[in-house]
A and B are shown apart, each in its own frame.
Chain A
Amino acid sequence: MFEIFGIPSQALFGQLLLGLINGSFYALLSLGLAVIFGMLNIINFAHGAQYMMGAFVAYFLLNYAGLNYWVALIVAPLAIGAFGVLIERTLLKWIYRLDHLYGLLLTFGLALIIEGVFRNYFGSSGLPYRVPELLQGGQNLGFMFLPNYRAWVVVFSLVVCLTTWFVIERTKLGSYLRAATENPALVRAFGINVPRMITLTYGFGVALAALAGVMAAPIYNVSPQMGAHLIIVVFAVVVIGGMGSIMGAIVTGFGLGLIEGLTKVFFPEASNTVIFIIMAIVLLIRPAGLFGRSA
């Protein structure tokens, strides 16, 4: 067994794999943010709250309706996506013409209200949610014990991320979407209902957050502040990747998960800050982000 900087390579592989798992959450969440920003030009600060709501829906379904994880994986994104549509129709649509700052403030306020309401009813310690039976246990990989559930998280989120990228960048529907953000008037002239498309896009972005929430429920406890913990990091990921860049969000999400994982081995105390240090450096060198197009 060889060593890298005094760390046994076994341990290092384990840490890299864990980094990848955390990265898949970053990727899934920053993907939703990037879709919303890219298409609507709204900085969706309520994303963390919507992620948390997804986890809570999974909890409610299991405990009040007896519906398991797999049902939640479909129902929670639909329910929270519908909630997103409602927000877009009643609140967001009035502020598209205004500065970014208004959208940011509105969604930030929404996040505070939603988290406050959940905390009021459910407290802060969180609620237990078990790993689904099918995915309990794990594999001994030789260098580490990999829980089956974590393996599922990596694979599933990669599939979701790449499908989303494919739909937006490579299909006709995606091209309509991109065209609608570039020049809504022209696209409308072709007979396409642009406002409805925008609404559904927001709903889709929110649904992605809820999906990540359901996936997180068995790993972290379902608690009202689970989104608040994550959202700042995820914003850093989006900024590093380039605001609105779909592929940027995916690659940076996984990449930063890896870097954070390594930091946890070599200098654990800094593992919370390392992402922001990278963000500062990237902003200095490439203000539009690694994959962003400069305006």
Chain B
Amino acid sequence: MKVLGNLAVLSAILVSSSAFAQYTDGVIKIGVMNDMSGTYSDLSGQGSVLAARMAVEDFGAAAKGMKVEIVGADHQNKPDVGSNVVRTWIDRDQVDLIVDVPTSSVALAVNEIVRDKNKVFLVSGAAASDLTGAKCSPNTVHWTYDTWALANGTGTALVKSGSNTWFFLTADYAFGHALERDTAAVVEKNGGKVLGKVRHPFPGTDFSSFLLQAQGSKAKIIGLANAGSDTINSIKQASEFGIVQGGQNLAALLAFITDVHALGLQTAQGLIMTESWYWDLNDANREFAKKFAPQNRGVHPTMVHAGVYSAVTHYLKAVEELKSDADGKAVVAKMKATPTDDKLFGKGEIRADGRKIHPMYLFEVKKPSESKAPWDYYKLRATIPAEQAFRPLKDGGCPLVSG
């Protein structure tokens, strides 16, 4: 029996060191985890699984002899649920890469697990800039956007145009706190003043009470440090309570094209927002959207979907060159060493702290009369060049950088 057992071990070692079995389990397994049923499921959800699948197909993984499998799961925006899924995925199902994970509280929990287990974590959906700041990890890349970039884009533009007093309506969890903190810093740096804030439970439904407090503050700008249906309902109810007619303006610090679609242009027109990707920005993006939307109930891709596509593409490149997906740190190091280049985000790079660098864009939502077709929603107001779009490396406090 013992001999047989030894033989089995020996043959396993032989197989794993042979040319075709560099990948754990012989398969590169990608786990797309996000909100599949709740407030963030349109901006990430099944669309992110689709984007990952399109990335694998466009990469031509099968033709290159790489076997890639994609699994998806719903974390219900709960850190405990998300942590359990990721542990099961890594320990039992041999998942090598976790991707997307909106809801910063969940992403911060997953960040630690992936670091412990030495796998790879590519963040597209989550926003908290702590992921490349104090909580940065050699196993994590923060891809699409972050709270600092949003604050820098929208905050700077508004304060410079004279909107110098702010009141924050903040979702009461890691993401909202980070967005509020980063935006307040931008406002104060540019000579503006924060008059107050109110933190609402996440997810919320009725925001009228908080909006009334914001109205009472007399601030010129009510900064919405929330996302998804919280932002939708805040904007909708602000219009109901005549806040904009009263002379105050709303700043949707994080809004996605799906939110604008849900609000309708009548309500959303004139909103200013910062995003890293818009489907109608260039031919490559339009072509992607044209392929994506019919497979996603007609819903056009958000920047989160595009980020998943771009991140998975770059991961596959790194794994192909390394011929291994076993050591998460090594894969991420390879990803950082290789300049990024894909059809949706163009050329870019990943910094030592795990921050992916690319331009950000300041958009304004069109008036109903300006929109020629469904999903034709944004006007480009300004492009923030890559080197100014994200928090300077030295300011993040990431331990990976100081050394």
User: How far is it, in angstroms, between the C-alpha of A289 and the C-alpha of B236 when the chains are bound?
Assistant: 36
Are B209 and A261 within 8 A (Cβ)? yes
Q: Shortest CB–CB separation between residue B219 and chain A, in angstroms?
A: 15
CB under 8 Å from chain A, chain B span 195-239: 198-201, 203-206, 208-210, 212-213, 215-216, 228-229, 232-233, 236-237
Q: Shortest CB–CB separation between residue A210 and chain B, in angstroms?
A: 18
Are A223 and B229 within 8 A (Cβ)? yes
* Residues of B with C-beta under 8 A to A19: 209
* Residues of A with C-beta under 8 A to B206: 18, 22, 219-220
Are B233 and A221 within 8 A (Cβ)? yes
Specify the chain B residue showing the minimal Cβ separation from A218.
B240
Which positions in B face A, CB cutoff 8 Å? 37-43, 45, 172, 198-201, 203-206, 208-210, 212-213, 215-216, 228-229, 232-233, 236-237, 240-242, 246, 258-259, 261-264, 266-267, 297, 299
Are A145 and B237 within 8 A (Cβ)? no
Are A119 and B41 within 8 A (Cβ)? yes
* Residues of A with C-beta under 8 A to B38: 124, 225
CB under 8 Å from chain B, chain A span 75-125: 116, 119, 121, 123-125
Q: Shortest CB–CB separation between residue B73 and chain A, in angstroms?
A: 16
**1/0 contact trace for A255-280 toward B, CB 8 Å?**
00000010011001101110000000
> What 7 pairs across the A-B complex have the smallest Cβ distances?
A125-B262, A272-B201, A128-B264, A264-B209, A124-B41, A125-B42, A123-B42
Are B241 and A125 within 8 A (Cβ)? no
Are A123 and B201 within 8 A (Cβ)? no
Which positions in A face B, CB cutoff 8 Å? 8, 10-11, 14-15, 18-19, 21-22, 116, 119, 121, 123-128, 130-131, 138, 144-145, 147, 149-150, 219-221, 223, 225-226, 229-230, 261, 264-265, 268-269, 271-273
Are A119 and B297 within 8 A (Cβ)? no
Are B41 and A144 within 8 A (Cβ)? no
Specify the chain B residue showing the minimal Cβ separation from A228.
B38
Contacts A/B (CB < 8 Å), 6 sampled: A121-B297, A145-B246, A150-B208, A221-B232, A230-B205, A268-B172
Specify the chain B residue showing the minimal Cβ separation from A148.
B240
Are A124 and B201 within 8 A (Cβ)? no
Which of B209, B233, B241, B266 sits near A265, CB closer than 8 Å?
B209
Are B208 and A18 within 8 A (Cβ)? yes
Given A125-B259, A268-B200, A225 and B232 contact (CB-CB distance below 8 Å): no
Specify the chain B residue showing the minimal Cβ separation from A262.
B209
* Residues of A with C-beta under 8 A to B236: 128, 219-221
* Residues of B with C-beta under 8 A to A10: 216
Most central of A149, A230, A271 by chain B CB within 10 Å = A271
Q: Shortest CB–CB separation between residue B403 and chain A, in angstroms?
A: 38
User: How far is it, in angstroms, between the C-alpha of A219 and the C-alpha of B207 when the chains are bound?
Assistant: 10
* Residues of B with C-beta under 8 A to A22: 206
* Residues of B with C-beta under 8 A to A229: 203, 205
* Residues of B with C-beta under 8 A to A149: 240
User: How far is it, in angstroms, between the C-alpha of A144 and the C-alpha of B229 when the chains are bound?
Assistant: 25
* Residues of B with C-beta under 8 A to A123: 41-42, 258, 297, 299
Q: Shortest CB–CB separation between residue A244 and chain B, in angstroms?
A: 26
Q: Shortest CB–CB separation between residue B34 and chain A, in angstroms?
A: 11
Given A11-B212, A269-B201, A271-B200, A221 and B229 contact (CB-CB distance below 8 Å): yes
* Residues of B with C-beta under 8 A to A121: 297
* Residues of A with C-beta under 8 A to B266: 128, 130
User: How far is it, in angstroms, between the C-alpha of A219 and the C-alpha of B239 when the chains are bound?
Assistant: 10
Specify the chain B residue showing the minimal Cβ separation from A264.
B209
Which of B200, B213, B233, B263 sits near A11, CB closer than 8 Å?
B213
Which of A130, A219, A226, A268 sits near B199, CB closer than 8 Å?
A268
Specify the chain B residue showing the minimal Cβ separation from A230.
B205
* Residues of A with C-beta under 8 A to B242: 138, 145, 147
User: How far is it, in angstroms, between the C-alpha of A221 and the C-alpha of B204 when the chains are bound?
Assistant: 12
User: How far is it, in angstroms, between the C-alpha of A177 and the C-alpha of B248 when the chains are bound?
Assistant: 53
Are A18 and B41 within 8 A (Cβ)? no
User: How far is it, in angstroms, between the C-alpha of A212 and the C-alpha of B229 when the chains are bound?
Assistant: 20
* Residues of B with C-beta under 8 A to A128: 236, 262-264, 266-267
Q: Shortest CB–CB separation between residue A1 and chain B, in angstroms?
A: 12
User: How far is it, in angstroms, between the C-alpha of A167 and the C-alpha of B43 when the chains are bound?
Assistant: 46
* Residues of B with C-beta under 8 A to A271: 200-201, 209
Which of A221, A225, A265 sits near B213, CB closer than 8 Å?
A265
Q: Shortest CB–CB separation between residue B76 and chain A, in angstroms?
A: 11
Are B199 and A127 within 8 A (Cβ)? no
User: How far is it, in angstroms, between the C-alpha of A62 and the C-alpha of B297 when the chains are bound?
Assistant: 21
User: How far is it, in angstroms, between the C-alpha of A288 and the C-alpha of B9 when the chains are bound?
Assistant: 65
Q: Shortest CB–CB separation between residue B236 and chain A, in angstroms?
A: 6
Are A124 and B240 within 8 A (Cβ)? no
User: How far is it, in angstroms, between the C-alpha of A149 and the C-alpha of B236 when the chains are bound?
Assistant: 13
Given contacts A10-B216, A124-B39, A150-B208, 9 further A-B contacts (CB under 8 A): A8-B216, A123-B299, A124-B38, A125-B262, A130-B266, A138-B241, A145-B242, A230-B205, A268-B201
